[in-house]
């Protein structure tokens, strides 16, 4: 029985994008779907996987070990490394998604940043938002999924949990380590952190 050469379709797709001016580093490690669409001046690093229905704009950089499927990436977006862009994600112009970030069924606004170790699901994020490391949108309560809305110019401190349904209004700040369960008003500081306690001259018990 004749074996199928699965590499041939990939070689054709790589050659197609090479001719279109796509810069591929380690092209033999990059996998495309037959419906992948890529704009001009795009750089793709090794071990990137394109699932079905991916559309990439112009001047986009996709770093190593990122996985994209059924998503739309606008111009001047920076992705990865180790990013997962899941179905229904839209990354607006100039936005940035960093390492170990997962985005699902969400819109990331213009010039907004989600740089590290974060899960964004069922969310709409406005312009110029900074989402700190370790932030989670808690979109599923075990029965149904709910939406998180983050308006323009919001700053989310590291290690925050945003419990949906939730709206954070424009210009607000979420303190690091907070669990936010109620809507946050415009230009407000919201935090739910416990007060720090310090015991002077403390000695650990010995065995």
Backbone angles phi, psi at 14, to 5 degrees: -65, -45
Show the tokens assigned to 146.
Answer: 């709910």
As a 3-state breakdown, the chain gives helix, strand, coil percent values, each rounded to 5, of 10, 35, 55
Does 67 participate in catalysis according to the annotation?
no
Handedness of CA 20, 24, 28, 33 (dihedral sign): negative
Q: How do beta strands 96-104 and 179-180 pair?
A: unpaired
Write the secondary structure of 30-76 as one string of H (helix), E (strand) and C (coil).
CECCCCCEECCCCEECCCCEECCCEEECCCCEECCCCEECCEEECCC
Residues 53, 111, 116, 149: which is the catalytic one? 116
Cα distance from N-terminal residue to C-terminal residue, the chain:
70
Q: H or E segment at 138?
A: strand 136-138
Q: H or E segment at 11?
A: helix 7-19
- The residues annotated with a catalytic role in the active site are 116
């Amino acid at each position: 029985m004749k074996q199928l050469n699965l590499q041939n379709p990939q070689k054709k797709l790589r050659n197609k994008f090479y001719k279109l001016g796509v810069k591929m580093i380690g092209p033999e490690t990059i996998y495309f779907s037959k419906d992948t669409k890529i704009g001009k001046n795009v750089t793709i690093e090794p071990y990137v996987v394109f699932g079905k229905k991916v559309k990439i704009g112009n001047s986009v950089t996709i770093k190593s070990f990122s996985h994209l499927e059924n998503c739309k990436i606008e111009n001047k977006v920076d992705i990865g490394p180790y990013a997962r862009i899941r179905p229904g994600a839209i990354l607006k112009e100039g936005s940035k998604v960093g390492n170990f970030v997962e985005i699902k069924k969400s819109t990331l606004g213009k010039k907004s940043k989600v740089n590290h170790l974060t899960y964004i699901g069922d969310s709409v994020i406005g312009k110029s938002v900074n989402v700190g490391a370790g932030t989670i949108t808690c979109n599923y309560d075990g029965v149904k999924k709910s939406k998180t809305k983050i308006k323009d110019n919001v700053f989310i401190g590291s290690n925050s949990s945003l419990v949906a349904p939730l709206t954070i209004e424009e210009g607000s700040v979420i303190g690091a380590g907070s669990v936010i369960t109620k809507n946050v008003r415009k230009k407000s500081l919201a935090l739910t952190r416990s007060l720090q306690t310090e015991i002077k001259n403390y000695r650990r018990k010995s065995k």
